[in-house]
A and B are shown apart, each in its own frame.
Chain A
Amino acid sequence: MDPVEEKISRYIADNILFSKHGYPHPLDASFLENGIIDSMNVLELVMFVEENYGFKVADEDIVPDNFDSVTLLAQFIRRKQALKV
């Protein structure tokens, strides 16, 4: 697994799902459709991204296209990091 996907899924498993079996969903599973996160958790994920990947997330970027699955979030992070470089 790509380290970005791994880090995101581990964070969600440990801090949002409180799971002891790691991340129990496919990486492309929709957070919304599967009830994986709630509204407060979205903001928690924004903080997680900012703390770990060194860029600010703009309000207009907090949309399901970027934040609705581990895969989508990892893609978003990689896009933003590419822009930074």
Chain B
Amino acid sequence: MCGIVGVANLREPKPIPEELLSDMLGAIRHRGPDGFGIYRHDWIGLGNARLSIIDLSSGDQPIGNEDDSLWVVFNGEIFNYLELRPELERLGHRFHTHSDTEVILHMYEELGPGCLNRFNGQFAIALWDERQRSLFLARDRVGVRPVFYTLAGDQLVFASEVKAILQHPAVRGEIDRQALTETFTFWSPQPPHSIFKNIFELPPGHYLLLKNGQIQIRPYWQPAFVPDEPGRSSESYLEELESLLIDSTQIRLRADVPVGAYLSGGLDSSLTTALIRSYNSNRLDTFSISFTDPRFDESAFQGQMAEELGTDHHEVHCDYRDIAQAFPDVVWHTETPILRTAPTPMYLLSRLVRQHNFKVVLTGEGADEFMAGYDIFKEMKIRRFWAENPDSKLRSRLLFRLYPDIQRMGASGAFLVGFFKRGLLDTTSPFYSHQIRWTNTARTWRFLADDAANKLEPDLALPEGFSNWPVLSQAQYLEVVTFLSPYLLSSQGDRMGMGHSVEGRYPFLDYRVMEFGGRLPPDLKMPVLTEKWLLKRLGQKYLPERIWQRVKRPYRAPIHRSFFDPQPLDYVTELLSEDALRATGYFEPSAVVKLAQKAAGGGELSEVEDMALVGILSTQLVDHWFVRGASRQHRSVLPETRLVVDRTGILQ
């Protein structure tokens, strides 16, 4: 795990100053504090901040091939590098290190961009071909690791995080109003947009090629949810899932440092932890979050699971005030507005991991998307069932199962039913499953100063045949591309881990598991309203009944109480003041001031008001850190700590 940076000339050779690359690396030194490397050529400069996990002694980057014509910097892991290496050696490639990074170089020599199809991993790769004078910039299939880029004059500037790109003298941070509205609808800007104008995210499963000043961006993988033809037994699928998950977990334990695990108390992380336990006898450390507020706390289940598996368990306790205090740092790392505080406890959790000298943790993300665990899938199925007979007084009552608090809505639950009736008959829309969520979130637009760019549907090139996919598959696809990749894996995943130099690894996001989830017939994922049916069958084998049978509880963290109970911290008061809101100009000051007064009044806020509150505060913080130049002081990478490969002046 690491961070990468780079600047490439599009028109003419002009060596990139070493100081600029050092400043860019300095901005993301949290991603890789163990060593820094720079490669310089007349046409490009590359940099790497390394978190050493595999091949501690000789894995420093940049790494060149046998004749120094190809150079790579790399963020992430190629988990199947041990299998790929002998294959490459048989083809005559000589290796100088034991790292997975070198496998990238030689596989690229063999297959060009096609090498990506051979990698099982989570990565961002920047590879420079001196002979061809071409740059190959690539990102893993589902976007576990980030890459951003922009054009600055005649240069392409790219990095793992935007804050490194902002070190370039010709780049400035400016919030893109359209991306802001997207955030206040889908919870994040939709790729390739970032929250910053003219700074883009390389979409997951894509690569960028730069040659002769021309940039091309191409996809190499996208999630597909086309079920197998009927005929296989559920037992046969269960066996396949088990063997895939055992292997995807095992190869994610490959590291020259100890590997721990997150334990949320739910099915997914309990299962991956149990799989580690079943096939390894070493000591295992697990890490969890507990909350003072019992509505969010799962520590009883976490404790049970840790005891069951005999792990050395560690817990970080999270109070309202902890969230408010850490929040400015959290937004420094997300570098984009967020509508939930849930990333903050993840940030505190990675700090705990680091305090115990761990750099790597396995975690359960991805199961809810690919094995169908979320309530939004059930909600879609209930609404379609209801739409079959919209006048039925009974069909809509299935919603009561999803929302047990319905009694608070009056005896009949008539209002809740009313909310879900909006667009009920629009069943041919490709976005049917997500329309309620997006419409509901868009109610936060009432706080935006300018929602002219409003759109309730994402700009998505849907896969061929999408309209013929089963409805559950369509919903799963939308959840992956609009939510998992741009939000969960980013603001709540990569950034919160890397904020404390901790790498998360995701057995459920092994591409073989994702593709299995795509092929799995819907009735083995969610028969009627039972979530993750097949995965639960596997859970039955490895977990106590009280864990695998638990009703799923979404991971959330308190919002308005964190910021206002008992008193707001100074920065909250300041950033939500009428003057500060007027100065930034993104929101209607009078509306926000009223919202803040309501939150300070101590009553409950609605879900939409909670989202608006944290969205506004985080936008103000993004502006503070990255637009107004209040950027945190960070140290450039000092000359004595960096390895420099200087190939300027070398003609090919």
Contacts and interface: CB of A to CB of B under 8 A. Distances in A.
A20 B590 CA distance: 7
Interface string A17-44: 1111000000000001101001111111
Nearest to A15: B598
A67 B440 CA distance: 19
Given A15-B598, A32-B422, A62 B410 contact: yes
B595 A18 contact: yes
B98 interface: no
B411 A60 contact: yes
B411 A38 contact: no
B218 interface: no
Contact of A32 (B407, B415, B606, B608): B415
B416 interface: yes
A14 interface: yes
Contacts of A64: 414-415, 418
A43 B411 contact: no
Contacts of B131: none
Contacts of A42: 409-410, 415
Given A14-B594, A15-B594, A39 B409 contact: yes
Interface string B383-427: 000000000000000000000000111111011101101100000
A59 interface: yes
The SS class assigned to the A binding surface is helix
Given A18-B595, A32-B419, A59 B410 contact: yes
Contact of B412 (A38, A40, A63): A63
A6 interface: no
A50 interface: no
Contact of B419 (A17, A39, A62, A63): A39
A63 to B, nearest CB: 4
Contact of A18 (B414, B588, B607): B588
A63 B410 CA distance: 7
Contact of A61 (B410, B446, B447, B592): B410
B424 to A, nearest CB: 12
B605 A40 contact: yes
Nearest to B411: A59
A14 B334 CA distance: 32
Contacts of A19: 446, 591
A30 B588 CA distance: 25
Interface string B332-357: 00000000000000000000000000
Given A18-B594, A62-B409, A62-B415, A35 B606 contact: no
Interface in B570-593: 588, 590-592
A61 B411 CA distance: 8
Interface in A41-82: 41-44, 59-64, 67-68
B604 interface: yes
Contacts of A15: 594, 598
A32 B421 contact: yes
Contacts of A43: 408-409
B443 interface: yes
B410 A60 contact: yes
Contacts of B167: none
22 contacts: A18-B446, A18-B588, A18-B592, A32-B418, A32-B419, A35-B422, A35-B443, A38-B419, A38-B440, A38-B606, A39-B409, A39-B606, A40-B604, A40-B607, A40-B609, A44-B606, A59-B410, A60-B411, A60-B412, A62-B410, A63-B412, A63-B415
Complex A-B, nearest 6 residue pairs according to Cβ-Cβ distance, in ascending order: A62-B410, A40-B606, A18-B591, A59-B411, A32-B418, A63-B414
Interface of B: 407-412, 414-416, 418-419, 421-422, 439-440, 442-443, 446-447, 588, 590-592, 594-595, 598, 604-609
Given A35-B422, A42-B410, A62-B409, 8 more contacts: A32-B415, A32-B418, A35-B443, A38-B419, A39-B415, A39-B606, A41-B606, A63-B410
